[in-house]
Each structure stands twice: as structure tokens, then as C-alpha cells.
Structure 1
Amino acid sequence: MATPNDEKAPVIEGAPTHEPVTKDASKLPDYVVEEDTYKVEHDLVITGDDLANVQGTAEQLSLEETRDILRDVIKNHENDQNFPIQVLHSMKEFVANHDIMENPEKYHTLILEMKVEAALIKDDSPYPEVRAVVDNTDDTTLPCSTIRAWTIGIIYVSAGVLINQLFYIRQPSITLESNVAQLLAYPAGKAWEAWVPSWEFTLFGQKHNLNPGKFNKKEHMLITIMANVGFTTPYTTDIILSQFLPQYFNQGYASHFGYQILITLGTNFIGYGIAGLTRHFLVYPTHCVWPASLVTIALNQSFHTGSDSPVSGPLKRIYSTTRLKLFTFAFFGMFVYFWFPGYIFQALSFFSWLSWIAPDNVNLATITGMNNGMGYNPLPTFDWNTLIYDTGHSPLVLPFFYWVNLFMGIVIGSFIVLGLWYTNTYNTGYLPINTPRVFDHFADYYNVSRAIDNRGIFDAAKYESYSPPFLSAGYLTVYVFFFAIYTCVLTWTFLYHRHEIKRGLQNLFKRGQRNSLHSDVHNRLMAKYPECPEWWYLLVLLASIGVSLGAILGWPTYTSAGVVFYGIALCLVFVVPVGIVNAITGFEITLNVLAEFIGGAWNAGNALCMNYFKAFGYVTCSHTLRFSKDLKLAHYAKVPPRHTFAGQMVATLVASFVATSILNFQMTQIPGVCTATQKDHYTCPGINQFFTAAVLWGTVGPKKVFGQGGMYTALLVGFPVGVILPLAIWLARKYFPKQSWLRDIHPPAFFYGGIQFAPYNISYVWPNVIVSYLSHVWLKKRYTAFWAKYNYVFSAALSSGVAIAAIVIFFALQMQHVSIDWWGNNVIAQGCEGTPCVLHTLAEGEYFGPRMGDFH
């Protein structure tokens, strides 16, 4: 453990009350012989350090105490796919077998295992993933909210959001992730530690030191949390640019800084108030692991942990390499390697080798193509960046059952896509099979200006003389799975997690008894620090409502104030179900499609109003989950809650003003911004897509597309399917309890697989299944200590190497329009992989779909 540079001995909180914990695996209870040790470690998926760490507690537990702990564990983790199923079976056997109490000598090994597991629950975490990177102790003397941390954090937040905002509208764009700030914060903190003088002074009655000593892991984590919330480009960028620019809605008032900052602050802060209220559901409970947070903690630990114990691993070797050394070598290795798939030899990234056999063969490209097909390819990529395509989700981090369910969902979805396309259902055969673009009945991109008046309001006469909107087979499938996932997540959480939600409600209303129902070691350690009262979060919520209403009502937005409260209501319905799924599996179910659907139906014909519906309906829940994840990150890292709250608030405030200032620069100082001919490539592909979606679903409206008599009404079958599948799995598990494989079926993750289409496909998902199996099944089971020591650090190193290499390539070469023209880069765009092929073509002057006058 790292300690501050002072003369006081650190106060370590959280260690068991018996003899001091040792990390020496040889000092085990006398009754634990070598065979028992191996069996306990293997059966419970724990390391020798884990076993040594809880030996004292395990010895002191009586059979009755052990049984009481395990009864509670069974109740809490019965439906928890992250909890090892074999351990759960052993627990049930122990609790149900009354002969154990009368004849304990006959069940020596089982008793030993169950005492160790009970001790783990009491003094550590039941999850090997958490134990691998999260300390079960806390040094309360480590300074956290220091001038050093605040200065570095604010500088990095300002620089990060400036770059992200500036290049958000450029093609290709560039995005700095918070792991870049985490990497760069360490040398900055160490430089401060070495060069800044130690000057102590008093401010507002409190003593501060300009250099409090060693740069420690709590300061580092506070900076990272600030970057997590501060690096994000405000969602209102899309709204404001589409309002202001003449090629869109051409509303001059959108250039007013007061309007911009009010709407930005409103949408950026509205999630905080709800995040504070969801702590009892998404932060305190043990089962809310938030897998992506473990990589951040692992990277933090690699910088601040002085030594690592040797571990046995593959090839029958002992590995003594430290985590920091592994991270360094893997980081630089990936930094060098990524230049090949990312720039020099891009075919390594999109290794669609089957379609290269006959690039113009429509059927071959449709089935095997990675760019424009279904991606049936056993060896599709050699690029780590392709594996983490889904918002950085690493197969080394998210659990194996998630990737299997995701893969099954996208495979089933591919059959639907192929069926729609090859049968020309909904005229999809005239369109590319897997694109998110919207088309007219001439198979051209839909020109929304031909269906609206000069106010951006729906014009029925113009619409009827033009065309209804048409979607590709892949995009139609995405909508079916989106509709299904919304009802599925509500049904799933009710069936399997209603007890956890009930406990959260009970704890929420237990004033003065924080964490009374969440008594794991991390909650006990965090109880040492003052918690942020709920009224702080409520005050932030009220303030964000106020500034949002000020923006909407203070300018001619043609929007009701009800959109703000609609966003809050939608969030309150979905945030806990969606949050529980996110906290357990690591993926987020976004509400953007549901917000579009409801907003467009509520205010049909008004695209501007639909934009606000979408913003508040989607952003409120998304930000709540993002802030909750950071609260859990601080919870694991033992950053005091009030420091976390202040860090999130300040970082978001700074980022809002910096991003809005850059937005003003983009709107007024970049000539031809968001036009196809903009000389510096500020062509705004995301804004174009946002505007098209706004007009399509806000102006044309979902009633015309999905309502009674609409072309795509049948797609609404997704809503009942989303209820039926989780209910069927629940009934199957109830009537076939011995079929343990049913426990690994996760319907929300299954439906999430079908959402990956348009533009992604199977090629992006399949490799993750293999990598995740090797990590979370094969390696973790056989070499638990090796996996625990290196897995998350290795994942962080690979992702960080890609991020830094991509930044260097972008600024050094791509911005200068320097490219390499050779087969290894050109083959990925040959034939149907370059220009999407279609099944049917139109003769000159023909169009498909309803005849003119038959659609309204």
C-alpha cells in the first residue's frame, strides 16, 4: 500500500479485528493441507493471497455464523450471473444439509470452503474480478482533495473537452477518453511532487499544503473521475448547431451565449440529482460491480502499488513481472503495433478476406463482408480497436456470459436481416443491406427539406409529392430489437432483481442509517467518511430544471416546458432497471430511440420539439448512469463522497463553459462549417445524421412510420417479444432448476446484440467471444492468481496504447492529409465493400413503394 510522505504511520481501516492480515500464502490454518488448499482455491476461484487474507476470519466463524452468512448470500446472488455457479451450488448444499451440523467431521472440505467463502463475503468481495484490483483496506491518512489534484484535474478537463468539442464535428473525428488523462496525470503528479515547494497556508480556516508529499492513488483517482465527466461533448452541440446553421433550421437566436450555456448546464447537470438518489440501488449494493470501472482501478493500482507477489501461470512458469512493468511493455507494444491496422496496413483491421475472393459478388459480400455485409467471417480482424468498437468495452473486462448472449442476439438478428433483404420485404432489396441511412423511394438518401416548410414544420403537400421514408433491412432489425429491449429490461429486472430494488427503497428511506442493508467491507470502509446528503443532489436537480426551463421558455423554441419533466419521468422509470443491467454486465441500454418514438408521437410535425424530447429523455438517464458509475469507482477507490461530488460538479461546470465557448467559435469562425465542401473537413457527419433523424421522426413522425396503417407497423412486435422472452426464461428456470445453463441466458444482452447492426455486424462481436472465453473461463479457472494480477492491467494497456497511437496518427498524418496508397489499404474498399451493393435496381424514372397519392 502506498503511504503519504509524512512521519505518521498510516491508519489502515477495514482489516479484520483478529490477527493482522498477511499476504503470505504459506501461513494458512494448520488444518489446511496442500490438497485442501488447492481444492479450495480451485473450487472458489480464489488466489492463494485471497485465501491467506481471510484465514483468521474463517477460523473464527462457527458453523451457525457461516450458515447465516451463506443464507443471505444465496438470497442476494441467486440470479447474479457474475457469481460463480459452482460456489452457489456448494452453498445450497451446505445450508440444506442438516447432517453437517451433527457430523462435521464427515464434511471437512465443504466446511472449509464455505467458511472461507463466508469470510470472503465478510471481509472482501465475493467476486474474483473485484478482489483482483480493489483493496479491502483503506489508508485514511492519504490526502485526496489537494491543490495538486484540483489543478491537474481542471487543466486536463479543460484541455480534453476543448479537443473533443473542436474535433467532434470533423471527419474523421477524434475523441480523447478519460484513460488518456489518467495516464498523463501520473507524470504530472510526480513532477509536482518533485519540483513544487512544500508551502503550507490557511484558507477559509483550513490548512493546505502546496505539495502534500507523495502523489497518491486517491488524488490520481479524483483527477480521473473529473476527466470521466468532463471529457464528454455536450449533447446540446447537435441541437444548437442544427438550430443555428442556415442549411438546417436557420434560427439565429441559437447563437446567443446565454441560451447555449443554459441548455448545456441543464442537460449536463440534470443527471446528478437522480444519480444521488440511485446510490442505494446502483452504488452501495455488492452485486453492482460496474465491470468497466475495474480497468480504471487496475491502471491506478499499477502506478501506485510498490510490489507484486510472484504468481504461477501458463507454461508452468512463475511470473514476477510487476503490473507497472507489464503495463509499460504492453502499452508501448500496442502503440507501435496499432500503426499497422490503424494506418499502414488497414486490411489488418477490416480483414474481410472472404469477400476479397470476388469483391463484386453480391451474395459473397452480403454474407461475409465486414464493411457492408453480415460479417460471417471466422478470422475478421487483427485490431484491438475493432474488438472494443462498442464504446470501449473490452472482452478482457466484460463477463463471458455477456459476450455469448450478445453473439447469439446478433446471429439471430442477421437471419432476420437476410430474410428481409432477400425477400425484398418493405422494398429493402433496393437498398444497401446494413446501413443506418434513410432513403426515399428512388433509393437516394432522404432529402428532408422536401417534406418541411421554412420553419422546419411538416408540410403535408410537399411530403405527398415526394416520398415516405424507407429503411434498410439492418436498420429495421435494429428498431425491432430496440423496441424489444425496452420492455425486456423492465420485465427482466422485475422478475430477477425486484428484491434488490426493494432493499434499495428500504435503505433510501432509512434516515441516519446509511448502508444499513449494505454491510460489505467497502461500505463499512466508506462509512468512515461523511456522505453527501440527498438534499444536495435534489438541489442540483432543481437548479438544472430551472436553467433548462429558462432556455426553453426564454427563447422561441416552439417547445413545451413539459419536455424537461418528461425526461425526468422517463429516467425514473428506466434508470434502476437499466442501471442494474449496466452495473452487472457493463453495457448501457440507451433511451434515445424510445425518446424519439414518444417525442415524435407527442409532438408530431415539430422536429425542434422532438429534439428536446430526445435530449432530456436520453441524456437524463445516460448522465445518471455515468455519474453513478463514477460514484462506484470512488467507492472502490475509497475517495471520500464529498470530494467525489465536488470533483464531478466542478469538472462538469468547467467543461460546460469550455465546450460552449468552442461551440461558438465553430459556429461563427469556421467558414462553411457543416457543409460537404468545408476545406478543413468540418463536415459534421453526426450533425447531419442528427438533423435527418430529428426531421424524420419529429416532422414526418413515428405515427406515419409505425402507427396504424404505417409501412413499418409490424415492427412494433418487438414490444411484446421483449416481455415474452424473459418470462419464458424465468418459467424455464423455475420448472427446470437443474439446468444451470439457463442461468447464463441474459435477454437484455441478447436483444442488445440485435441493436449492433447498421453499421456493425458479426465480425465485430465474434472475436470478443473467443478472447473473453480465454480470459474469463480458461485462464481465470486454471491460473487464478495470474489472471487476477495481470488481466485488467493488460486490458488497460492495450486500450491506452490504441488511444495514444490514434491521437498521434490523427494530428501528425491524417490532419495533414498524408495517406499510403497501396493494396493493403485499398482492398478494404473494393467492390461491394467500398460501395454497398443492392439486390434490385430501378430503371430510369421508376420508384418503389406506395404510389403517389397512396401515402399520407
Structure 2
Amino acid sequence: MGFSLFLSKDKPQNKRDRSSALDSEAINDTDGGIVELNQTNQEFNSNGSIDSLKKNTVHSTNDFVELDETELEISELDDEALVEKLPPDVAELPKIVRESVTLDDDPTIPVFTFRYILLSLIFIPPGAFIDTLNSYRTTSAAYSIFFVQVTSHYLGKLLARVLPNKEINCYFFKFNLNPGPWSIKENVLVTLTAASGATSNQGTTAISIADLFYNDVTNPAVALFFMWCINLTGFSFAAIARNFLLYDPKFIWPKALMQSSLFNSMKRADSNKVEGSKQMKVFFYAILGMCIWTFFPEFIFPMTSSLAFLCWVAPRNSVANFIGSGMGGMGFLNISLDWSNITSSVMLSPYWTLCIQFAAFVLSCWVLIPAVKWGNLSSFKAGLMSNRLFTAEGKAYPTTDLMIREGKHIYFNETAYEIHGPLHMGAQQAWTIFFDYAAYVSAITWIALFGRDDILQAWRKFKSRYWEVKNSENSTEKFTSVSEIYTDRLNKIQSAYPDVPLWWYGALFAVTFVVLITIFATGHMFIPWYTYLVALGFGVLIVVPLGYLYAISNFEVAIGAFNELIFGLMIQGKAGGKHPASASSYGAIAGDAWYFARNMLQDQKIGHYMHINPRHVFWSQLIGQLFGVPFNYLALRWAIDTKRDYLNGTVTDPLRQWSAQSIQNYNTMAVQYVLLGPTRLFSTAYNKPIPFGFLFGAVAPVVIYGLHRLFPRAKFNLWNVTVFSAAMSGFYGNLSTGNISKIIVGTISMFYFFRYRHKVWAKYNFLLAAAFDTGLNLAILLIFIFFSAGKRTTMPHWWGNNAESVERCFAL
């Protein structure tokens, strides 16, 4: 395929075309729900992008775009004057992107190199193994992608110094061991490959449940191909949304922007730029500071992880303790100084998203919980903040009594169900499921109402450009890249690279489809073959709505409860045995159709920001999966073969580490949805209101849309029902600490500094977010190695680590 020669410099038609998708002030004119930057009285920040703009040439295609440096002299101008001063194709980019991404490129830099392959093979195995083991442990050692991002950069520079400049000629291909200086593009590709492969796999859950609790061992070849194919199916589903959500500059993908900011800071530091070196010093100091501090809330001084002020005032008052505790109570006025309870999401997400999440927390923990505990909101008060199942008397439900095993088949025990009675859920778990259902449906309703103009506009652009080339009289003109459709600088640069052909995604899907349908049709992996088709259908339905929300807000909706409900509805009336592991098999397929589509799209966006060939990004994802999945399986087999009695509950681990509590929770949910079935589950008066979550998710966005149309200046389109519902469903168990800390940090970062100290925000916000996460993960890894990997060592009890209650809530 040839390179595009289209270098349109048409000026944006309106202010909206060159504004950002990340502020809480101005809303776009088309009711699309995109939040844009308020550009009033903010200066364009010289965070590396001005340096790149002042270059004489920009490698955007085979032609060069000449820049007049006089256009780019930045003085004391307000944003409106500055935007008019910029070249039109640069002004089209959101301000937050202009501040974080370099706008020059050299397409001749080698990227897919021997050094890239070598470093990928070094970083994938430990990440895939450790991340899989985490699902069986109570505490775990995190494997940070930022660790890979930073470490691989310096290892790559070392390889560039020590490897010989020697060409290796194999029979089918040849390559150079050391083609030149280490490039940031190689660093990007190593990081993306590790992000794909150095992680856990949802397929291990079903395999583990079957083996641990029902002694059904999955054939190793079946297990490997199942684990490969569910993830690769998600990659193929990225094709559904990429033309809508990837190339349009209004979709900024905040997490991709954060990683790109770190890459560019490392690149500037390598160029001996004073500003880049200063940024990297701040980055490493922040890592060191967060790493040292994390030892306090996580080990030395656990009290700092949940500062329950009401418990200090009345340490023996049960009411005050319940209201103030963040570990077993409502978390009122509770502050956490543990970054693991805050995370970098509060420094990436738009401020309106953070406000909605905090409002959901307030409603859930400060309104509904006391209304159940001390009011008449619910007649069933047992297990208020528990995710276990109960009898009507409030006792733990003996779910294993509901199973009858006959050979390889498991049947529902009607007699035991009549003896023990209907299942009851704790009140918080009940409204968690209610809002889980609401979030799924509202994502579709919301995009149909608020996002349709953006999606239709992207589709019309793609269609018009495609037919323009197809019907062109110039027979040599080819439609090589969707980037040709857009006129902003980043898309001009990317148009130098051929796009990933649609047939690549189609071929990937076809291969995975044949393999998976064969697995299910031959009776493996526990689900009927037709349910696989339904899982694919729901995956197609949800990729664009959830991708739309994630691309503008960095908010991800969990869809597990909905998937397991749908599977339960499909099989509840069928004769024959129903294996509890089947729900996890179905959920892995339907879930990964979205989760891995998101991963592919986000990594493609990083490639877009860093000027990487999209085909290289595509293959990096496949390489990551190819090498990562075998290590996922090896970790699974090692854990089950060596820790089986601990994991299935036969013997209690003396270190309390190998508990497999997440696996056991999935098994309990499987009994609920697979054996009992949704009809029985929701037949009781107590559980009947839960399915009305679907109605709420369908109707609430319509109400908000009506209010928005009636009062367009009131910003009702910021009242995102999907974010609210997903946040309402996100409070598991009795941990309610950290939410006040989140809104405080978010207000400082995404409101105060973003609006009033924007130059400082643009230079350091994304770097600090990455540094804090890296420091946290490094500290947790060190704590795991020092105190949990072998013999477990506990911190001696003292005032800040009280044996009875680290919060000093002694009456809870």
C-alpha cells in the first residue's frame, strides 16, 4: 500500500473542532456528551510540543509540511488568540493533547527490531506468571506496566551500546542485531507487548473452579487454546469501534495520554533538554517517595490507610464506630493516606466523572446503608455489607447442599432447596446487582441519545472518504489509512503509515471462532455451543457504547454480573447437568469481547500519539498473547498442584495467603445463576426488585436527555447515568475508605491545578500519576518479597497497628 499524499490545511469550521474532551466547563454543541476544555485565560504550555512545533519540518507523509516559525512564537496571549496563532491542523487538536504529545515524526526509525523482541521476551513471563498467581492469593505482588515502561527504556539503551552491529541472515529473513540508537518507539512497542501478555487471563477462573471444586481437569491443549482465543476474539472486536473512537481527536483516551506523556518525557530527557531532565528527576523522586511512604499504610503504620476520626472521638461507641469506620462501616469523614485506595484514576478522569462517582458513594454508603441498618428500607438486615448468600434466618447458606453429582454432571438438589429455603443477599449486594444491570443498559441508551451525533459524524466521514477514493478517476489512488479522513496534525503524521486492514481483524475472528466452536461442540469448557454465539452478540452490542464512555472519561464499566445473568437465563430450563464452571466460561468470552477490544483500542491510541505504525501495534498485541498465555497456564497448574488443599478449603493455610477467595466467590455466584437459576433467585419478594435495574438503566438516560433539551445551559448531559450506576455497583464487601481522599486529590489535580495552575498541571500531572502508581506497585512487590513470599512476617502491634482494630474502632 502506498502512502497518503493528502495534506489538507483547511481551518476548523468552529471552535468545537479544536477544543478538548476533558474539562467540566464547556459542553459540545451537538449533545454528544463530550466535555471540552475551557480555554479562557489559559496559556499554551511548552511541555515539549512547542519545541517540536518549532522544527522546520514535520514528517507527516512522503511530503513535508513546512512550518513558519513566526507563527509559533508564543507570548502572553490568551487561549483564543493562541489558537488563532497556531497552524489550523495543530489547532484542531484538543489543548490537553497539544501539551502532552510531540508533533514531529521520523518514519524511518527502526521499531520492530531484535532488541524489541528480546526485551519483550524478558518482561512477559514474570508478569504473566505473577499476575495469574495473584488470583489465588490473599495478598499479591503487583506487576506494574510503568515498571516495564521505564526499565525497558534503560535496558534498551544498554543493548544499543553492547550489541554488535551485525546482520543476521536467516533462510526466510534477515535482521540487524543493533540497527542504531535505541528509540522511544521501540520502548513503546515493548511496553505495549508486555501490557498485552504480562497479565492474567479470565479463562483461568473456569478451569480452576472445575479442577479445585469438582475434580474436572481440563485438557492442557484445550485450556491453552481457550485462553488464547477468548482474548484474541476481543482484539478482533476492536475493529467494530476503531473508526468511531480512535482517530477523531475529541476522543483523548486519558490513560493512553498519560503513558504517552511519560514516553515523551523520557525522550526529551535523552535529548538532554533541561525541561525533560527536570521532569524525569521529578518522576523518579516521586517514585521513591511513594515507594517509601507505602510501607507505612501497607505494613508499618496501617492506621494511616483508614483514618476514622469518629472512632477517635468515641472509640467504644458502636454507632459512632459504624458511621466512621472505613473497614466495616459507612466511612463517614474517613480519610485514607494509602495510594492503593486512591490510584491514578483521579488524576486522569474528567472532574465531572469524579463528582458523579463521589455522589454515588455518598448515596450508597451514607444514605442507603443507614436507611437499611436503622430504618425500614429493607426487612432483611443480615449481612448488610456482605457479598455472601444467606438463609431467611440470616445464616450462611450451605450452597454445596444444592448440588448433586452424577458422574461428570451436576444437578440441582430440589429437596435441599426446599429444606433451606430461598437465597437472600445482603442489602448492599442487592443494590450492587441492581445497578450492575442498570449500568449495562444505560450505556447503550446513553450513547443512543447523547453520543449518536459523534458516532454518526465519524461514520459519515469514513464512508464519504472511502467512496471518494473508490470512485476516483485516478486509478493509483488508494485508501490506505482512516487517518486520511481527518485533517489534524496527528492524523496527518499517521497517514504516513498503512492502517491495519479490516481483513486482518476478520481473519483473527474467523480463526478464534473455528477453534472455540470446535471446543464447545465437542463438550469441552462446560457451555453449550449456542451460548457462545449469544456471548459474541452481546460483545458486538456493547463495544462501541462502553468504548465511547472510556475514551472520554477513563471510566470502565464492569459487565460480569450481567453476563452471568444472561447465561443463567439461557440454560435454566434445559435438561441435563449444569456445571457451575460454565458461568465463568461464558463470562470470560462475553467479558473479553469488551475488555480486550478496549486494550487493543487503547494501545492503538498510544501508537497514534507516539507515531507508531498501527500494524506494528497490532502485531505487538498478538506477540504478547502468544508468549503470555502459556505462562498463565503454568502458573495455574503450579498453584493448583502445590496448593490444592489450601485453595479448595480442605486445609487452612497457616499464612492465610493461599485462600483463592476470588475463585470461591465465582463458584458461589455460579451456584446462584447456574444451578438455582435467575427465576428462582428473583422469585422471592426480597429479590424481586433487583431486575428493575434494567428499567432504570433504560429510562433514566431518557429523563436526563429530556432535561438537557429543555435546559441546555444547565449541563444535564454531565449527569451520566452509566458512570453513576457503575459507581453504585462498585462497593464490594465492607470497605468504604478512600472515597473522600479520591475526591480531595481529584479536586486538587483535575479542578484547581487544571483550571488555575494549568502550566504546572500540563508538565507534571500525568508524570506524577504514573510515578505514584509505579512507587505503590514497587513497594507492594518489596513487601511481598520481604514479608510474604516465604515465611510470613507480621508487623508487631503498636498504637498505629492495634491488634483489635487498626482504625481504633473498638466497638465495631
Give, in whole Å, the separation in 2 of the partners of 1:590 and 1:127.
28
1:466 aligns with 2:420: yes
Alignment of 1:689-768 (within 5 A): 689-707=665-683, 709=684, 711-739=686-714, 741-759=715-733, 763-768=737-742
- Provide Cα deviations, 1:725-744, integer angstroms capped at 9, x if missing partner: 322222222222233x4343
Shift of 1:556: 5.0
Q: Which amino acid aligns with 2:569?
A: A
> Is this contact kept in 1: 2:432–2:728, CA < 8 A?
yes
Mean CA deviation greater in 122-131 or 519-528: 122-131
Aligned twin of 2:157: 190
Aligned twin of 2:224: 261
Aligned twin of 2:337: 382
1:652 aligns with 2:628: no
> Is this contact kept in 2: 1:169–1:674, CA < 8 A?
yes
Alignment of 1:329-344 (within 5 A): 329-344=285-300
Aligned twin of 2:491: 523
Shift of 1:115: 7.3
Give, in whole Å, the separation in 2 of the partners of 1:132 and 1:126.
10
> Is this contact kept in 2: 1:372–1:833, CA < 8 A?
no
Q: 1:328 to 1:77 in 2, by over 3 A?
A: farther
Aligned twin of 1:240: 207
Q: Secondary structure at the match of 2:168?
A: strand
Shift of 1:194: 1.9
Give, in whole Å, the separation in 2 of the partners of 1:156 and 1:626.
18
Q: Which amino acid aligns with 1:674?
A: L
- Provide Cα deviations, 1:455-495, integer angstroms capped at 9, x if missing partner: 43221111111232221121112122212212221111111
> Is this contact kept in 1: 2:307–2:807, CA < 8 A?
no
Give, in whole Å, the separation in 2 of the partners of 1:402 and 1:498.
20
Q: Which amino acid aligns with 1:453?
A: I
- Provide Cα deviations, 1:43-69, integer angstroms capped at 9, x if missing partner: xxxxxxxxxxxxxx9xxx9xxx56567
Aligned twin of 2:380: 428
Give, in whole Å, the separation in 1 of the partners of 2:731 and 2:153.
39
- Provide Cα deviations, 1:678-708, integer angstroms capped at 9, x if missing partner: 456322111111111111121112211225x
Aligned twin of 1:163: 130
Q: 1:164 to 1:666 in 2, by over 3 A?
A: same
Give, in whole Å, the separation in 1 of the partners of 2:304 and 2:555.
27
1:778 aligns with 2:752: yes
> Is this contact kept in 2: 1:350–1:828, CA < 8 A?
no
Shift of 1:72: 8.8
Q: 1:330 to 1:16 in 2, by over 3 A?
A: farther
Give, in whole Å, the separation in 1 of the partners of 2:811 and 2:247.
49
From 431, 437, 440, the equivalent of 1:483 is 437
> Is this contact kept in 1: 2:439–2:697, CA < 8 A?
yes
Shift of 1:774: 1.6
Shift of 1:223: 0.8
Alignment of 1:56-67 (within 5 A): 65=11, 67=13
Give, in whole Å, the separation in 1 of the partners of 2:37 and 2:614.
31
Q: 1:642 to 1:16 in 2, by over 3 A?
A: closer
- Provide Cα deviations, 1:741-791, integer angstroms capped at 9, x if missing partner: 434322222222212222366532222222222222221222222211111
Q: Secondary structure at the match of 1:322?
A: helix
Give, in whole Å, the separation in 2 of the partners of 1:666 and 1:112.
57
Give, in whole Å, the separation in 2 of the partners of 1:518 and 1:121.
12
Q: Secondary structure at the match of 1:198?
A: coil
Q: Which amino acid aligns with 2:311?
A: S
Alignment of 1:356-755 (within 5 A): 356-359=312-315, 361-377=317-333, 379-388=334-343, 393-414=344-365, 415-423=367-375, 426-431=378-383, 433-454=384-405, 455-506=409-460, 510=466, 512=479, 514-555=482-523, 557-604=525-572, 606=578, 607-676=580-649, 677-678=652-653, 681-707=657-683, 709=684, 711-739=686-714, 741-755=715-729
Alignment of 1:253-292 (within 5 A): 254=218, 256-292=219-255
Q: 1:121 to 1:775 in 2, by over 3 A?
A: farther
Q: Which amino acid aligns with 1:482?
A: D
Q: Which amino acid aligns with 2:797?
A: W
- Provide Cα deviations, 1:560-619, integer angstroms capped at 9, x if missing partner: 111221111101111101110011100111221110111111112733433332222222
Shift of 1:189: 1.1
Give, in whole Å, the separation in 1 of the partners of 2:547 and 2:599.
10
Q: Secondary structure at the match of 1:559?
A: coil
Alignment of 1:39-78 (within 5 A): 65=11, 67=13
Give, in whole Å, the separation in 1 of the partners of 2:225 and 2:562.
25
Q: Which amino acid aligns with 1:790?
A: Y
Q: Which amino acid aligns with 2:770?
A: A
> Is this contact kept in 2: 1:83–1:126, CA < 8 A?
no
- Provide Cα deviations, 1:226-279, integer angstroms capped at 9, x if missing partner: 11111221111110011112xx22224x2x212211211221211011113321
Mean CA deviation greater in 709-718 or 74-83: 74-83
> Is this contact kept in 1: 2:337–2:741, CA < 8 A?
no
Give, in whole Å, the separation in 2 of the partners of 1:111 and 1:338.
41
> Is this contact kept in 2: 1:76–1:500, CA < 8 A?
no
Q: Secondary structure at the match of 1:819?
A: coil
Task: Give the RMSD, CA atoms, in angstroms.
Answer: 3.1
Alignment of 1:71-150 (within 5 A): 79-85=32-38, 113=80, 116=83, 119=86, 122-123=89-90, 126-150=93-117
From 769, 772, 779, the equivalent of 1:795 is 769
Q: Secondary structure at the match of 1:138?
A: coil
Q: TM-score, normalised by structure 1?
A: 0.81
Give, in whole Å, the separation in 1 of the partners of 2:137 and 2:157.
35
Aligned twin of 1:94: none
> Is this contact kept in 2: 1:828–1:834, CA < 8 A?
no
Give, in whole Å, the separation in 1 of the partners of 2:732 and 2:811.
12
From 760, 777, 788, the equivalent of 1:814 is 788
- Provide Cα deviations, 1:774-822, integer angstroms capped at 9, x if missing partner: 2222212222222111111111111111111110111111233111122
Give, in whole Å, the separation in 2 of the partners of 1:736 and 1:79.
15
Give, in whole Å, the separation in 2 of the partners of 1:836 and 1:448.
31
Aligned twin of 1:249: 214
Give, in whole Å, the separation in 2 of the partners of 1:286 and 1:302.
21
> Is this contact kept in 1: 2:101–2:609, CA < 8 A?
yes
User: Which blocks of at least 5 consecutive residues in structure 1 are unaligned?
Assistant: 1-12, 18-56, 89-108, 312-319, 838-856
Give, in whole Å, the separation in 2 of the partners of 1:120 and 1:168.
51
Shift of 1:70: 5.4
Shift of 1:669: 3.7
Mean CA deviation greater in 215-224 or 441-450: 441-450
Aligned twin of 1:228: 195
Shift of 1:114: 6.4
Q: TM-score, normalised by structure 2?
A: 0.85
- Provide Cα deviations, 1:637-672, integer angstroms capped at 9, x if missing partner: 111111111110011011111211222232334452
Q: Secondary structure at the match of 1:456?
A: strand
Q: 1:275 to 1:556 in 2, by over 3 A?
A: closer
Equivalent residue pairs, number: 740
